[in-house]
Chain A
Amino acid sequence: EAQVTQNPRYLITVTGKKLTVTCSQNMNHEYMSWYRQDPGLGLRQIYYSMNVEVTDKGDVPEGYKVSRKEKRNFPLILESPSPNQTSLYFCASTYLSSGGAGDTQYFGPGTRLTVL
């Protein structure tokens, strides 16, 4: 079954304590991305990756890092979390068709992060 998995699903932490949210996909997709979802703001892209070792900033990258050492995994790292990073985070994996029309994006189930 095509899947994007995220862990943990829920996390409460304190300011400054480094954390990593893992994301894994089993569809051999090259393109993966991270979004945060906040009330009234929809989803905003944090980082994306076109392929292994190729990552780039999205719209709201400040305070986040990512890595793409393997095709299937795309972890999101918060080196020093702050309360304004309290949010719902989604990882997404995208099948890119040739030409673009036909792209299909799969979202993970989400990680609810609270930073105290």
Chain B
Amino acid sequence: GQQLNQSPQSMFIQEGEDVSMNCTSSSIFNTWLWYKQDPGEGPVLLIALYKAGELTSNGRLTAQFGITRKDSFLNISASIPSDVGIYFCAGSSSGSARQLTFGSGTQLTVLP
């Protein structure tokens, strides 16, 4: 099946720093989604991208759909303690949120 490589696997940053994580795929995706998972909960959608080259923001979060359609990145600016969690990218070859392939996740720790 399709595979997504997500990096880094984990990050330890100081409060206030910016964070960047990315996902790459060996095949083309038509949809890229970014999720956050808090401990003991299911993933929650942060940003959805449906068009190559698209750059979308949600508060301090910005995500881009790579123009090759094989990659995406997520930036978090001015991190705060509640940003702690696991961030997942997900892609779909359909133009929708069906049949998603997930990355392995980036565990983010924000140090005070």
Contact = CB atoms under 8 A, between A and B. Distances in A.
A5 to B, nearest CB: 11
Contacts, number: 70
Nearest to B50: A101
B98 interface: yes
Contacts of A31: 98
Given A43-B88, A107-B44, A101 B105 contact: no
Nearest to A108: B42
Interface string A38-79: 001111110010000000001100000000000000000000
A90 B50 contact: no
Interface of B: 1, 4, 6, 9, 31, 33, 40-45, 48, 50-51, 88, 90, 94-105
Interface of A: 4, 31, 35, 40-45, 48, 58-59, 90, 92, 94, 96-97, 99-105, 107-110
